[in-house]
Amino acid sequence: MLTSIISFGVILAFALVIFCVIKWWNLPLTGVTPVPLFTFIAILFTSGLDVGLIMFPLAFDYPLYADTVAEPAYAFTNPLALEFGFWGFLIWAFYFLTTFYFCAIEPRVGFFKIPVVKLLNNIVIITTCAFTGALFLIYMPYYIAEVGDGETILPVFYLICFLVILIAAFSSTDLKFVKVLSVSSTILFLLLILYMFLNAGMSLGDLAATSSNIGGYFANIHKFIIPLTEYHEFYLFWWFAWSIMIGQFVSRFVGGLKTWQLLAALLVFPSIPLVLWFSVLYFYHLNGIGTAGLPNWAMTIVGIVFVINSFDSLIRLYTDNLNLTTERFGTVSYVLANAIGLFVLTLLFQSQWLQIQWVGTVVIVIYLLALAYMFFVKREKLSNLDGNPVTAAE
């Protein structure tokens, strides 16, 4: 059942991407607080990815993809191509679709201003935010193996998780913090790639040879559209769960890109650091290079920064949507309420009481409801979609 739901959702999303790009190819898109392209990409990259990017590939994904006896569905290409297919390029089209929608269409139709939809959307945002915290909490022992036995979630890890959420809640109090943190963490991630490259003793030739395995993704790109396995299905639900809220948040920062430029930017720019990161880690995997000590700590620190980035963007989004602002409640109450509430939800995800597949399913339902609303209720609003929609709406 879940496989059918996510397959339908992915095919629907890609069909909508193709439709929007063909119909509104040169439509200029500008958000309410436009920023330069690099800042926009940094905000998108750090908001749209989380700690799984740091923690999953080397410890879990590469060994899984390499074991084609246990998972024959992965035998058609190499582990690096599979990892890139799960995280890069084509699936960023989901974020293009929602960013385009919130720049060009939502200001005209106001679907997400409908009270029930607004409530449902913000429940999705809050629960997905907590899922990020749960991933961080669950996998922290594996990366800070120097603390504990490498498997058990000790009290200190709960404390670290809560402090991370607390810092993110404070960061969300001002958009300038969000922007600065996004750019800073992008630079920090690039420095991490450089450090891991040097630590492995890699040469540029090694990097080129290893990254050439990415070609296995582009040669088989069609195979990544629907789920290969339950694990791939989990990834696709995960991306869907994020798609609406990331589009809603980053659309405010679009700085005059045309539709085709926005699509190109979202497919290409985030994929470049992903190729570098996954290639360096794949070199570690192929050569059995350990990461104990400083490399693990470096990855953990960057993972923590990514979690803070994800949290502060989403906290800012749902508090703005629900008018739960610092101006209304005060900074201290705002920060504590968000931190405590999200930490409790994090514990619910960590205990498996909540599932990201449920959240992804709700997002697919929201897609269908939005389409029906546009077609049956607000169709005339889209008949003259040109110029700067956000400015026009304002």
C-alpha dihedral sign at 224, 17, 185, 128 = negative
pLDDT confidence of residue 263: 95
pLDDT confidence of residue 388: 46
Which regions in the chain score pLDDT beneath 70?
48-50, 145, 148-150, 352-354, 386-394
pTM: 0.86
CB 44 within 8 A of CB 246: yes
Count how many Cα atoms sit within 13 Å of the Cα of residue 278 in the half-sphere of its side chain: 29
Amino acid in the structure at residue 166: L
pLDDT confidence of residue 4: 93
Quick one: tokens of 94?
Answer: 């989901």
**How many whole angstroms separate alpha carbon 294 and alpha carbon 131?**
27
Other CB atoms closer than 10 Å to residue 139's CB: what's the count? Answer: 21
pLDDT confidence of residue 236: 93
**How many whole angstroms separate alpha carbon 307 and alpha carbon 323?**
23
Q: Which of 301, 354, 350, 341 is nearest to 158 (CA)?
A: 350
- Which CATH code, of 1.10.10, 2.170.240, 1.20.1740, 1.10.287, is assigned to 2-393? 1.20.1740
Q: Which of 311, 376, 324, 386 is nearest to 111 (CA)?
A: 376
pLDDT confidence of residue 133: 82
**How many whole angstroms separate alpha carbon 101 and alpha carbon 374?**
11
Instruction: Quickly list H helices, the chain.
Output: 2-23, 37-48, 52-56, 62-66, 79-87, 93-100, 106-109, 115-143, 155-171, 175-199, 204-211, 215-218, 230-250, 259-268, 271-287, 294-321, 326-329, 331-350, 356-376, 389-393
Question: Would you give the end-to-end CA distance of the chain in angstroms?
Answer: 42
**How many whole angstroms separate alpha carbon 180 and alpha carbon 56?**
26
**How many whole angstroms separate alpha carbon 45 and alpha carbon 321?**
22
**How many whole angstroms separate alpha carbon 26 and alpha carbon 302?**
37
